[in-house]
A = this chain, B = another copy of it.
Amino acid sequence: MSQQRFTHLDEQGHAHMVDVTDKEVSERVAIAESWVSLNQETFELIAAGGIKKGDVLATARIAGIMAAKRCSDLIPLCHPLALTKVKVEFELHPRSHRIRIESLCKLAGRTGVEMEALTAASVAALTIYDMCKAVDKGILIESTRLLEKSGGKSGHWQREDGRA
């Protein structure tokens, strides 16, 4: 249970970008989610929106995709990666007035893409927040987390209490 298990800290406890030079190139996939909880009225404005709804979610989708590409620029110790696929999708949950965001990132590379997927989901959530905040001050971004990852030495992993 020693400290060195924080791979992003060296033996002196100083942050560094971990050496992945010798890791093998393999196909890496990560799936993450984030939930945005709105009040009923705001949720219905989005859900009933037809074309108009379109632009709220389309904007959040683009923001999420672009943020995945910027991940290593935001998260200090992330490696710069040439992502080969990014996807951001939305599910509307009318009963709980919540929107579920699911992001998927893929790479043929030397390190995993969890942070890219989590960044995509978070920034998509923040974008929905931004577009709705004038009508709903009580918005909550909840449960941002990794659902699944594969590739690399640690293989396939799936959150047990995974997708709702």
Contact = CB atoms under 8 A, between A and B. Distances in A.
A164 to B, nearest CB: 14
Contact of A59 (B50, B73, B74, B76): B76
A131 B14 contact: no
A138 B79 CA distance: 21
A101 interface: no
Contacts of A78: 130
Given A5-B135, A21-B107, A51-B54, A144 B145 contact: no
13 contacts: A6-B52, A15-B59, A17-B83, A18-B85, A20-B84, A62-B63, A79-B84, A80-B83, A81-B82, A82-B109, A115-B133, A122-B122, A141-B144
